[in-house]
């Protein structure tokens, strides 16, 4: 009789423990999402439009496409000749820069400037003083070409 009661207690305890473990397993599957029933989903339709060439160019610039090579190290400020403010106070010069394996600028070519003929010489002088981290390919420093944009904004003394 003592053995029967022990067997009944063991069986009852085992049954309760099994129910608790199964409930915990089911609950964890519900929380994790593995037990979700397949729901019918509506198809979402989004309007699509073709980007204009100007917007594509803007996105390429934001993503950094077209820029080759590493970022420049901080360069000392270059001495720039005074600007003729009567010809404009803002300008942008786009340059192609050739950097040798040591990080020195070896060649600078103006790609575009706005306004043309005003800031190119100053931009070339400023870029020529920069040093770049070398770009390594298979462990060797290589010459690289970069696209640099120099933005000139001149403020009058009263704005400072």
What's the CA gap between 93 and 11, in Å, rounded?
A: 86
pLDDT band at residue 77 under the 50/70/90 scheme = low
Rounded-to-10 torsion of CA 95, 101, 103, 105: -40
Q: pLDDT tens for residues 91-145? A: 889 999 999 999 999 999 999 988 888 889 989 998 988 898 888 888 899 999 9
What's the CA gap between 2 and 9, in Å, rounded?
A: 11
pLDDT band at residue 34 under the 50/70/90 scheme = low
Lowest mean pLDDT among 20-24, 80-84, 139-143, 156-160: 156-160
């Amino acid at each position: 009789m003592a053995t029967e009661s022990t067997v009944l207690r063991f069986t009852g305890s085992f049954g309760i423990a099994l129910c608790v473990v199964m409930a915990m397993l089911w609950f964890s599957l519900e929380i994790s999402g593995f037990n979700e029933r397949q729901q019918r989903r509506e198809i979402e339709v989004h309007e699509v439009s073709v980007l204009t060439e100007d917007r594509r160019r803007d996105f390429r610039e934001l993503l950094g496409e077209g820029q080759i090579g590493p970022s420049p190290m901080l360069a000392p400020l270059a001495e720039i000749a005074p600007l003729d403010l009567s010809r404009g106070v803002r300008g942008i010069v786009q340059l192609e820069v050739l950097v040798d394996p040591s990080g020195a600028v070896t060649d600078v070519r103006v790609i575009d400037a706005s306004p043309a003929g005003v800031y190119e010489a100053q931009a070339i002088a400023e870029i020529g003083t920069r040093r770049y981290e070398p770009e390594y390919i298979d462990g060797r420093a290589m010459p690289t070409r970069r696209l640099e944009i120099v933005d000139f904004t001149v403020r009058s003394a009263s704005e400072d």
